[in-house]
């Protein structure tokens, strides 16, 4: 969702770049180019953050499975959560 919002922002900058020229000596093509170049960088950083959270959640889940082996409901829930059927 955030990636689509960022893409919308880039398109809005492209459309509204005439207003940027009135603010100062800003080149329209450089603003659009920098916006488009920043999209893959922002996308990669979002994906890396999602990967980080996923790995942390997986580590917590593994800890719960190991720590509470005697409670079958927790083991069943964590197994279904990660599709370890």
pLDDT one-digit tens code per residue, 16-26: 766 665 566 66
pLDDT one-digit tens code per residue, 30-70: 767 777 787 788 888 888 999 999 999 989 988 888 898 88
Residue 72: phi, psi to the nearest 5? -65, -25
Residue among 65, 83, 62 nearest 74 (CA): 65
Sign of dihedral through CA atoms 7, 11, 17, 19? negative
CA–CA distance, 35 with 39 (Å, rounded to integer): 7
Q: Can you give the pTM of this predicted structure? A: 0.59
In the chain, count H helices and then E strands: 4, 0
């Amino acid at each position: 969702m955030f990636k689509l919002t960022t893409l919308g922002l880039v398109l809005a900058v492209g459309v509204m770049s005439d207003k940027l020229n009135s603010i100062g000596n800003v080149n329209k093509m450089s603003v659009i180019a920098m916006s488009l170049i920043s999209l893959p960088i922002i996308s990669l950083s979002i994906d890396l953050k999602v990967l980080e959270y996923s790995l942390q959640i997986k580590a917590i889940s593994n800890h719960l499975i190991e720590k509470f082996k005697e409670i079958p409901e927790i083991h069943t829930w964590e197994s279904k959560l990660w599709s370890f059927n």
